């Protein structure tokens, strides 16, 4: 893993070390007050065996404004990206062959300095570790998933931390996710906290709804804006561009959940799930479903094949998104 610590007002040099436990004070800011942000990325192999990562500059930017929101010193972009590269290369033997999975990358910035009163920690640690992974949901990558529209719990509210990848955002999602899985669902779709009428995001990903040649997705301002209640997903941004270039009109707006009743197809996107087709959605006992011979509808399939093709070097990358490490 790669480890870097603050030195005075800035960050020291990142070093590659053997993976192992961290020794921190029981008074660490992250343990007592949840002062921490994380990222999710992947390294993959191309068909000719090269290792590639995807849009690390976007993750670096999201980390920066996440740190600022939680009163942590932002990790410089060059430090962030080089730490990712060095960690992946140190674990190159764990990157699966093309089409057999990927190496999940977890950057983590946490307040490790001791603090008892409610205040920013006096020191911080930035680390990166990795793990080989397969498909996020059961089955293959394009196996349709079943989702429950959550009406008892909310993920985030305006003015909160929903627009950043704060560690504390995810603990509160465990209960509704656990309940949903016991009921036979793969995950939940959250609605807006104020009116419970509009789609926000799935517990681990952004959501898109297809109707004809239009694709709808909840809007955001980005950059850590306090009014954002959904995450500025790197895959979300990529899918929007790919969809537009495929001839679809992408509508970023408030999306009523009732649009799912008349949708042609729907899917979720994120680093972990990539592009995952939604097979059924249930709201208070009423279910809307979609069935396609290949598991995914035409829009979902087109976007998935284009995006994963770019990520693995199977198709040209006209956007300059892929970064080769060897």
Give the range of the structural domain holding residue 271, as residue numbers without chain letter. 145-311
Gap between the terminal Cα atoms of the chain: 19
Say yes or no: 163 and 121 in one domain: no
Say yes or no: 161 and 257 in one domain: yes
Which residue out of 58, 85, 148, 165 is catalytically annotated?
165
Q: What integer pLDDT is reported at residue 65 of this predicted model? A: 98
Q: What integer pLDDT is reported at residue 153 of this predicted model? A: 96
Q: What integer pLDDT is reported at residue 137 of this predicted model? A: 62
Q: What integer pLDDT is reported at residue 235 of this predicted model? A: 97
Q: What distance in Å separates the CA atoms of residue 130 and residue 132, rounded to the nearest whole number?
A: 7
CA distances from 196 to 17, 273, 290, 313 (A): 47, 25, 23, 41
With a cut of 50, which residues of the chain have pLDDT below it?
none
Task: Answer whether 224's CB lies under 8 Å from 255's CB.
Answer: no
Say yes or no: 150 and 266 in one domain: yes
| pLDDT tens track for 125-184 | 999 999 999 876 665 778 999 999 999 999 999 999 999 999 999 999 999 999 999 999
Say yes or no: 168 and 265 in one domain: yes
Q: What integer pLDDT is reported at residue 282 of this predicted model? A: 98
Q: What integer pLDDT is reported at residue 141 of this predicted model? A: 79
Task: Answer whether 40's CB lies under 8 Å from 104's CB.
Answer: yes
Say yes or no: 196 and 304 in one domain: yes
Residue 165 annotated in active site: yes
Residue 90 lies in a domain: yes
Q: What integer pLDDT is reported at residue 88 of this predicted model? A: 98
Q: What integer pLDDT is reported at residue 123 of this predicted model? A: 97
Say yes or no: 55 and 121 in one domain: yes
Say yes or no: 51 and 157 in one domain: no
Q: What integer pLDDT is reported at residue 9 of this predicted model? A: 79
Q: What integer pLDDT is reported at residue 203 of this predicted model? A: 87
Q: Is 204 helix (H, G, I), strand (E, B) or coil?
A: coil
Q: What integer pLDDT is reported at residue 294 of this predicted model? A: 87
pTM of the model: 0.95
Q: What integer pLDDT is reported at residue 204 of this predicted model? A: 87
Q: What integer pLDDT is reported at residue 134 of this predicted model? A: 85
Counting the structural domains of the chain, the total is 2
Q: What integer pLDDT is reported at residue 1 of this predicted model? A: 98
């Amino acid at each position: 893993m790669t480890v870097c610590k603050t030195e005075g007002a800035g960050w020291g040099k990142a070093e590659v070390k053997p993976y192992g436990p961290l020794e921190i004070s029981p008074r660490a800011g992250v343990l007592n007050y949840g002062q921490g942000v994380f990222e999710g990325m992947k390294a993959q192999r191309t068909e000719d065996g090269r290792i590639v990562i995807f849009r690390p500059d976007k993750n670096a930017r999201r980390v920066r404004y996440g740190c600022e929101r939680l009163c942590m010193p932002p990790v410089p972009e060059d430090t962030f990206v080089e730490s990712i590269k060095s960690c992946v290369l140190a674990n190159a033997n764990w990157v699966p062959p093309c089409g057999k999975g990927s190496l999940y990358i977890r950057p983590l910035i946490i307040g490790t300095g001791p603090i008892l009163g409610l205040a920013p920690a006096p020191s911080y640690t930035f680390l990166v570790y990795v793990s080989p992974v397969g498909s996020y949901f059961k089955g293959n990558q394009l196996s349709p998933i079943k989702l429950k529209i959550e009406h008892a719990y909310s993920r985030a509210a305006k003015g909160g931390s929903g627009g950043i990848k704060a560690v504390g955002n995810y603990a509160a999602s465990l209960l509704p996710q656990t309940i949903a899985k016991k009921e036979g669902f793969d995950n939940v779709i959250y609605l807006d906290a104020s009116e419970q009428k509009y789609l926000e995001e799935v517990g681990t990903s952004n959501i898109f709804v297809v109707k004809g040649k239009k694709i709808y997705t909840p809007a955001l301002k980005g950059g850590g804006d306090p009014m954002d209640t959904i995450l500025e997903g790197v895959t979300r941004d990529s899918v929007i561009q790919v969809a537009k270039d495929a001839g679809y009109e992408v509508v970023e707006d408030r999306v009523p959940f009732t649009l799912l009743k008349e949708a042609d197809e729907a899917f979720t996107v994120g680093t972990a799930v990539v592009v995952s087709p939604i097979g059924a959605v249930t709201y208070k006992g009423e279910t809307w479903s979609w069935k396609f011979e290949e598991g995914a509808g035409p829009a979902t399939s087109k976007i998935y094949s284009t995006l994963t093709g770019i990520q693995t070097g199977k198709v040209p990358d006209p956007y300059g998104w892929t970064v080769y490490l060897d």
